[in-house]
Every structure is written in C-alpha cells, then in structure tokens.
Amino acid sequence: MRPAAGVIAVLLLLSMPFGAGAQGGSVHGRITDAGGSPVTGASLILDPGGWRARSNAQGEYTIAQVPAGTYTMRLRLIGFAAPATQVRITDGQIVQQDLTVAKAAVMLSSVVVGSRALHTAADELAVPVDVFTAEDVREQGTTETSQILSQLAPSVNFPRQSVSDATEIVRPFTMRGLSADHTLVLVNGKRRHHTALIHYYGAGQGAGSSGVDMNAIPSGAIGQLEILRDGAAAQYGSDAIAGVVNVVLKSGVFSPFLTADLGEYITSEENPAALLKNGSRPSFPRDGRTIDVNGGWGLPIGRGSLSIFAEYRDRQPTNRAGPDPTDMFTSGDADEVQNGELVSKNNSIGQPNHHWGDGSSKDFMTFASASIPLDSAGQAGLYAFGGYSFRRGAGFGYFRAPSSERNWTGIYPNGFLPKFAPDVVDLSAVAGGRGQLSGWSYDLAGSVGHDGFKYNLENTLNTSLGPCLTTPCAPGRDGQLGTADDPGIPNKRNFFAGELKLTEAILSLDASREYEAGLASPVNVAIGGAVRRENYQIGAGEPGSYINGFHPAQDGSIAPSGSQVFPGFRPEDETDSDRTNVGAYAEVEGDLVPHLLANIAARYENYSDFGNKVTGKVALRFQPTEQVTLRGAASTGFRAPSLNQSFYSSVVTNFKSDPVTGNPVPFEIGIFPVNSREAKSLGAKPLKAESSQNYSAGLAVTPAQNLTLTADLFFIRIDGRIVLTGFLDTDSVASILRAAGSRAEAAQYFTNAIDTRTRGVDVTGDYRVGALGGTVGVNAAFNYTNTAIPDENNIPLPPELVGTGEDLIGKYDEGGLLAMTKERPAWRSTVTGQYSRGAWNGLARLSSYGKYSSSLYGYCAECVQTYSAKSLVDAEVGFAPMAGLKLSVGGRNLFDVYPDRMSAANGFDIFPFPPASPFGYNGRYAYARVEWTGR
C-alpha cells in the first residue's frame, strides 16, 4: 500500500509550507433567514478559486487565508437562495459579509446520489461520493466523457481496444474492476439507457457486457459529475453494484459559451514498420488529430429557463501497428522482419498494412434542459431534458493478403483491410413535474431512451460470391451456375450487415417528506416506484453479408460465408424481445442521536422474465467533531440479465467437404441465445439475476482548514455472475449438437457461472491554500482493487458437458477468468496540482497505473504477460487576455510513455502494444483550446 501512503504524504508535505507562509485575508459573516433566525449548514463558495466554508449552528462562517482580490460569493442550501455577492479581500484584513436568505424553488440542484434526502455537499452523506465541477471536466485535456471520467476517478478504468469489432466504436468504462454493466448511470438523477451493443471480441475484461455510451453526452453540457463509490441497488435498482455515476446537466440562465479544442498525437516512439535510414528509424507520424467544438446557452423562459448544448467532434485515427512478416503475393515474398522491426522490403505492399490504434470517429451531439416554475414561490414546476447524438465511427479488422483464400485479386489486387463504419444513434427524453402535496414533495416523470447500432462494412467482400462485382457468378450449392439455387447477386465491396436496437421507457413517481419522530433530527421518508418497459431487436443484414454463394476460394478451397471482418446477422438471428419491470422502494434517513446519521432503504423488483428480487441497505455516519466523520454501509443488490445477453445471436454458417461424397456440408459456429436448442443441448439455462453483497467502511477528516482526507474500504461479493462461455468446440461438443438436430459444431452462450469477490480501498485528499501570490490547490486520489474467483480451477460444468474435455469458462479466453481478475491495474493513483493568479492558471497531474496481466491475443497459458506499472504526466497552462476569452495549451502524457510491448505470441510480431493498457498506446498528445463566454 505504499502508493496510498505516498499520496497522503504529498498532501501533507504540500500543506505545511503553503499554510505557514500564506498571506491574504478572511471573510466572516452570519447567515440568517427573513425572520432573523440563524441558518445552519449553508455552503459559502468564493469564485474563482473555490474557497469554501459552511455556517455553524449560530449561522456563522469564516473563510480564511484567501489571496487578495475580488471574488464572487455564492450560497448553496436546499430550499433557500441568496443573490451572488461581490467580495473584495485585502491582505491581513477580515471582511464582514452577512447574508439574508429567502425561500427558494424546489428545483435547486443538490448532490443527488447516495441518498434521497436533500443534501448540498458530499460530506453530508453516509457513503463516499466524489463531486467534480464543470471546471474539473473542462481541464482534462480531452472531450470524450468516458475518458474524462477515468482521468478524474482512479476507480474508473477506460481501456482503448483496437481490432475489437464494434467495441472500438462504443468503448465501455468499468468501475472497481467489475464489468461495464455493474455501474448504474444517471442523468439528473434519472436512469440512463444502455447501448444496444454486446462487447465481446477484443473487449477483454468487459467481454459479454453491455454498458452505457457515455460519449453520447456532450462534455460541455456537464455541470457536475457525481460518483457514488458504493452499492446502491436498494435505492436505484438493477446495475448499481460497483457504484453510480450521476451526470448533472448545466441549467438555469447563463451566458452563451463556445469552446474549441484542437490536438494531435506527437510521439517520439520509433516506428518499427519503417526501414532504417542512416542508422536511425523515424518515429510514428503525427496522427489522431482531433477537432472539437462545443457550446451552450441558458435562455430565460418566463420565470423558467431553457439550456441548449451542442458538440461536434472529428477524431482522426492513430496507428501503432508494426510490419507484417507474412507472404503477400507468392510463397517466400514476405518482408524480412526481426524482433518486430522491418529490416528489408521484398514485396510492393506498404507497411504497416494492419491497423493498431484508435479508429476515426465523427460525433454530433445535442442536449437540452428546461424548467418552468408553476408558482411564484417555486414550490411546483415542470422540467424536461434530453438529447440526440449521431456517430459515424471507423474500426478495422485484420489485413487480408493478396494471395489469401479470403481475398479475390480481381477485386483487391493488393489485398484489403476490412473496415467497420457503423452508424450509432442515441436518443433520450425525460419530462416531469415536481411539487408539494399534503406536505409531501413529489417528482412524477416519464422517460424514453433509445440506442441503435447499424453494422456498415466497407472495403470488404464475401469470398463465396466470387470475383465478380457486376455480374453474379456464384453457382449456389449445386455448383452449377444458372440453376435455381444460385444466389443471383454479385460480390460487393460494402455491405449492410444488420443492426441492433435497444429501447427503454420508464414511468416513475418519487415522494419524500420530513417527520418529527422524537429523534435528534427530523426523519426524511422517501417512497417511490417505477415501471420500465424494455425492447431489444436484432435486424438481419442484406443477404450478401451472410450467405454462402458456393464459389470456391481463389486457392480452390471452400470459401467462408458472409462478409469479411463481420458476417452479417441472418434472418434466423433476428429477435424482437420485450420485458416489463416494476419496482418500489422506501428509504428513511435521520439523526438517531446527535452526530449519528442513519440511512435505511429497501426495494422490491419484479421482472417479467425472471421473477422477483428484494434488496436492502443500511448506512451510518458518525461525526464526533466537525473535523472527523466515520461512515459505513452494508447492502444487498442485484443486476438483472440484460435483454442483449438473453437474446443476442451471431451465428455464421460455413461449409466443409463431406469426407465420403466430397459435397459441401454446412456447419454453424457462433454465439447462440440461451433459449436456442444449441445452447440448451450444451447445458444453458434461462438467465437469472446476479446477486451481490456490498460492505464499506471509511472516514473523512479535516485536520486543517481547506484540507480534507478520506479513506474507504470496500468488499463486493457477486454470486451467479453472467459471463460468456468459452468457445466450446471439441469433437464431443459437435456430437452433442448433431444429436440435438443442429448443424452447429461450436458454440458460446451466456450463463450464470461465476462467483467473484472484490475488495479494495479508496483514498482521496483535497487541499487548497493561498500561496505564491495566488491560489494553489492539490488533489490526490488512490484506488486499490483486487478481484478473485473462489475455486476458479473448479468451475462447475453442466451435466451435458461432463466428459467433453471442455472448460465452461476458459482461463485465458476472451473475457475469461484471467481477464476478470488481472486485466486491470491492481492500483491506480492521481495527484493533481492547480495554480491560478490573475489572468493565468496552470494544472499539472501525475497519473500512475499498477501492473496488470493479460493473455490477449494468444489466449494460452504461455501467452500470459504481465505489464509493468507506468506513470504519466499531464499539464495545462491558461491565460485570459480579456473578459470572456481564455486561451489554453496543454499536453497529456508529456513524457511520451508507452506500455510494455506485447510478446510475439500475443502481438504476432505485428501489434506492439497491449489492448488492455489502461491509458492506451498512442503516446504524447498536445492540444490548444479557445474558450469564449458572452455577456
């Protein structure tokens, strides 16, 4: 645990000199209501700089050691409001600033996650919650929301897979070492829908999961990010096992803003696919140029407001592939490659011919948020928010050499690199009303979310349709052109391979009120329920993307079916599946005795496909002094099997020669839904909900003003975890499938097969002080996570597979046992320093990643490779030459750090860097940003 100790030591060491030598002044005052009574628990914030204090029982507050200057003071307290006030601080002086607050609208923003009681700050909660501001989001040097999330929170992992089919286009994030679908995502406290995609090939640790596409949310619309690091299924329902991410949108009336970012990767890493020249090898070319423009405007609508946001991002691809050492046109014409580096050219195919890096992506995103009070007191109102995003992505498969049996030289004389070019559409809309009725505050809302993924393939072909692009030449199964069984279609370079759709509709009612129960504080009682309807669809591709035309391959062998890189969905794969979920919850929270807060929640869920689930949670917070908070929680939870997992089907029909007649015989391989005869014959059962138990304990201390340290231990037990089986393909499996009347010879399916145990610790710290003539802030965070599988060498086999020589879950398979336990760093830490003075500001961040192990892409015991720990440095400098205009330049990974190289067994001497790398493998990224804010 030395990294954690180092993080805390950095905070303490930095605090000493700054605190001792700090100049500046203080602001002191008293907060009262309209009747002159003191107001307790109001948060006072000075901007710029973020200096904070909270009013005590007498309504008094003090913010000390503030650098001289003019600040804007804002007050935050649920149910109250006060106008922003200008405060001028002078060195050595105490400024008196009293405030009178008035009743405010019920729509005033708060910390949403962790409790259904109203809270204004994370430290009021009994569970650990990280809160990040819009400024934090903006200063990460990236505009992808998932990447921003991973840079802000060490418990979040966001690997950048390549050659991973559709996962390259919709990349999932994970939290606390669990799968992408173990984290619940909310927007303004409302459940966000999942993507229609199932991650499997190249997804590693996340194989078989289906998360939320965070990059469909424009980063410029984010007013606050809240990360609950605790189980919360008893409060929010399915998925909230690793934690909850809540995206709070900017709202209200605000000046228009426009931000433009331009950046690219500038690396000094040598390019192994280039020939030596004068004893040296050039570096990879500059690539990955990204242009991002986003903006927003908060407009008044009567007493309410309408906030609109838009973002456009154009990200060009990166490529770190090495040289290909295989034959191209004829035997023996391969380029000479030694130790993964090109030594001499022996053919005309340019190097690199493969792609290993980020694909290109063009995204257009819009979001809007509106609220309209219905009375002058703001006790009732309507609200709505939602968005639309469209992404045209590009990912790549493996290069097909000119002489490959999967190519036709008449179509691609120099071979081809097949390309995914999917269209991803994401829609969401939420509308509701809030108000008060008979002492209850209520929130009635309806929402709909939709995600669609169209598999467009480019620069490919269907080998079995022959070398003809204009006239059909595939003979059909009888081998005779011109007969009735001819497919009757020519080959193509581009195919539509099918589509996935997922739609969710939710109607929810939440209500809360306070009761006097004779305890140390009023008890907040919250009740509510929701009805959710889900629909999942698979649509078939065009026939040429999946059929076999029976034209022999160019080497005379039987050609594979379907489009290269991804055979399309067949009509037999199509599904239109629905389910209904009804849930209800109750939650109470209050101080049992002075300084001891208790939160108790229970939830009942019924799913039409698998039945009932009851979960509960108890959380306590003990605050013996204002400087020390102890907290702990215990809960049960669950994750419902997604419709994607229950009904996903991707099966390819190929052919082989009958050993007796020589005629082509069909056989199938692929992922079969659990209700198919193929899956049932191999032991598949209807999927059940995963069950979880979460335990956490921690503390938060404030040993000095503006210095806060937290530490939280956690343990997560998941039973019946849903995973994708290994590739079941022995002769015994083929015999079982044939006996069931199937043409399949190999199969995978989803199953509740694994129990996991995850334990770890989170440590955070935040320090802010006036120093060096300005404001200095230091934030540090550390996460350690370990996931284990009890009896991982004895995973029970279903009776149908006993004696087949198969393991149900392969240790080294895609998403297998090794991936679930070792394919993310065991620890990660960040230390961020910020400095601002006048028109200037700067940021520096050290991010460290522990070692991890992976078997990608060799998938064997000998292929297991452990990658060493790495540290990256980011920096940014900004200058505001005039009001409303700010210019910034910065860099991520300034020292151009790369992960260790893959062994030849995993990278085939072509792909140098591991797809499991938690920080990617593109090297140094430099960027510039212009921010404009109107008046």
Q: What are the tokens at 174?
A: 């994970």
Q: Mapped to the 3 state alphabet, what secondary structure does 24-57 carry? A: CEEEEEEEECCCCCECCCCEEEEECCCEEEECCC
Residue 51 has pLDDT above 80, yes or no: no
Indicate whether this model's pTM tops 0.85. yes
Q: What are the tokens at 92?
A: 């050595």
Radius of gyration (C-alpha) of the chain in whole angstroms: 29
Q: Is the C-alpha dihedral spanning 631, 632, 638, 639 positive or negative?
A: positive
81 band by pLDDT with thresholds 50, 70 and 90: low
614 band by pLDDT with thresholds 50, 70 and 90: very high
Express each pLDDT in 186-198 by its tens digit. 999 999 999 999 8
Percent of residues, the chain, with pLDDT higher than 90: 58
Mean pLDDT of the 404-411 span: 96
Residue 112 has pLDDT above 80, yes or no: no
Q: What are the tokens at 30?
A: 């008293």
What is d(CA 605, CA 531) in angstroms, rounded to the nearest whole number? 10
User: Alpha helix (H) ranges present in 170-296?
Assistant: 233-236
**Per-residue confidence (pLDDT) for residue 407, from 0 to 100:** 96
**Per-residue confidence (pLDDT) for residue 38, from 0 to 100:** 82
Name the burial class of residue 722, with classes exposed (0-12), middle (13-18) and buried (19+) by CB atoms within 10 angstroms of its CB.
buried
Residue 364 has pLDDT above 80, yes or no: yes
Q: Which of 38-52, 53-67, 270-284 has the lowest mean pLDDT?
A: 38-52
What is d(CA 692, CA 241) in angstroms, rounded to the nearest whole number? 7
DSSP assignment of 202-232? T-GGGTTB----GGGS-GGGEEEEEEE-S--
Instruction: Residue 311: name the closest of 145, 169, 131 by CA.
Output: 145
**Per-residue confidence (pLDDT) for residue 922, from 0 to 100:** 95
CB 26 within 8 A of CB 66: yes
What is d(CA 878, CA 930) in angstroms, rounded to the nearest whole number? 10
Residue 720 has pLDDT above 90, yes or no: yes
Percent of residues, the chain, with pLDDT higher than 70: 91
CB 491 within 8 A of CB 543: no
**Per-residue confidence (pLDDT) for residue 17, from 0 to 100:** 43
Express each pLDDT in 645-685 by its tens digit. 999 998 876 655 566 666 556 667 889 999 999 999 999 99
Residue 1 has pLDDT above 60, yes or no: no
Beta-bridge partner residues of 720: none
The C-alpha angle 96, 102, 105, rounded to 5 degrees, equals: 135
CB 140 within 8 A of CB 814: no
Q: Which of 5-9, 84-88, 684-688, 853-857 has the lowest mean pLDDT?
A: 5-9
Residue 439 has pLDDT above 80, yes or no: yes
Beta-bridge partner residues of 670: 651, 747
Residue ranges of E strands in 401-484 = 419-420, 423-437, 440-458
445 band by pLDDT with thresholds 50, 70 and 90: very high
Q: Which of 393-397, 642-646, 652-656, 790-794 has the lowest mean pLDDT?
A: 652-656
CB 169 within 8 A of CB 203: no
**Per-residue confidence (pLDDT) for residue 163, from 0 to 100:** 61
> What amino acid is encoded at 76 in this protein?
R
What is d(CA 722, CA 291) in angstroms, rounded to the nearest whole number? 39
Q: What are the tokens at 871?
A: 């540290």
Express each pLDDT in 883-929 by its tens digit. 889 999 999 999 999 999 998 888 888 999 998 898 999 999 999 99
**Per-residue confidence (pLDDT) for residue 15, from 0 to 100:** 44
Mean pLDDT of the 30-40 span: 80
Q: What are the structural domain ranges in the chain? A: 105-648+683-727+749-933
Express each pLDDT in 770-790 by its tens digit. 777 788 889 999 999 999 999
CB 338 within 8 A of CB 344: no
Residue 17: count other Cβ atoms within 10 Å of its Cβ.
11
The C-alpha angle 157, 158, 163, rounded to 5 degrees, equals: 135
| Average pLDDT in the chain | 88
Does domain 105-648+683-727+749-933 match CATH 2.40.170.20? yes
DSSP assignment of 609-638? TTEEEEEEEEEEEEEEETTEEEEEEEEEEE
46 band by pLDDT with thresholds 50, 70 and 90: confident
How does 296-331 read in b/e, with b if 16+ C-beta sit within 10 Å? bbbeeeeebbbbbbbbbbebbbbbbbbbbbbbbbee
Helix (H, G, I), strand (E, B) or coil at 394: coil
Relative to beta strand 664-671, strand 628-639 is unpaired
Relative to beta strand 395-396, strand 419-420 is antiparallel
What is d(CA 342, CA 270) in angstroms, rounded to the nearest whole number? 12
What is d(CA 545, CA 495) in angstroms, rounded to the nearest whole number? 6
Relative to beta strand 254-265, strand 304-315 is unpaired
Per the listing, tokens 């006097």 go with: 516
| DSSP letter, residue 857 | T
**Per-residue confidence (pLDDT) for residue 202, from 0 to 100:** 56
Q: Which residues contact 36 (CB under 8 A, 6 or more apart)?
A: none
Mean pLDDT of the 3-32 span: 60
**Per-residue confidence (pLDDT) for residue 107, from 0 to 100:** 34
What is d(CA 766, CA 708) in angstroms, rounded to the nearest whole number? 5
Instruction: Residue 653: name the closest of 498, 805, 543, 499 by CA.
Output: 543
How does 590-628 read in b/e, with b if 16+ C-beta sit within 10 Å? bbeeeebbbbebbbebebebeeebebebebbbbbeeeee
Q: In which element (H, E) is residue 647 found?
A: helix 643-647
The C-alpha angle 172, 175, 180, rounded to 5 degrees, equals: 35
Dihedral angle computed from the Cα positions of residues 184, 190, 191 and 194, in that order, rounded to the nearest 10 degrees: -100
**Per-residue confidence (pLDDT) for residue 108, from 0 to 100:** 33
Q: Which of 103-107, 283-287, 529-533, 836-840 has the lowest mean pLDDT?
A: 103-107
What is d(CA 585, CA 511) in angstroms, rounded to the nearest whole number? 11
Residue 396 has pLDDT above 50, yes or no: yes
Express each pLDDT in 559-612 by its tens digit. 989 999 999 999 999 999 999 999 999 999 999 999 899 999 999 999 999 899
Please count the helices (runs of H) and the strands (runs of E) in the chain.
9, 48
Relative to beta strand 94-96, strand 25-32 is parallel
